[in-house]
Amino acid sequence: MVALARSRLTVAASLSFAMIAIYFGFMGLFAFGKPVLGAMLAPGLSLCIVLGPLVIISSFLLCLLYVYWANTIFDRNVKSTLEQA
């Protein structure tokens, strides 16, 4: 059970740190790198307009990754542990 709890904590912490890095990286660019975010990729399309939705999409992808991991690997390991007990 300790190994299961440790693996869940490791995955959850890794995904949380990834989301924190993405979010605060974007916010850091927003605060200190406005010329970078203001770079025009196409007429009427700046880098900020592209990165903003990517931050939101990345949060959904990280959540989807966690749910997939929990439903496939974690639940299977919990079930096998309960059967052994």
Mention every residue, 6+ apart, whose C-beta is less than 8 A from residue 15.
62, 65, 66
pLDDT the model gives residue 64:
97
- The pLDDT tens digits for 15-56 are 999 999 999 999 999 999 999 999 999 999 999 999 999 999
pTM score = 0.82
Burial of 56 (0-12, 13-18, 19+ CB in 10 A): exposed
Q: What 3-state DSSP class applies to 75? A: helix
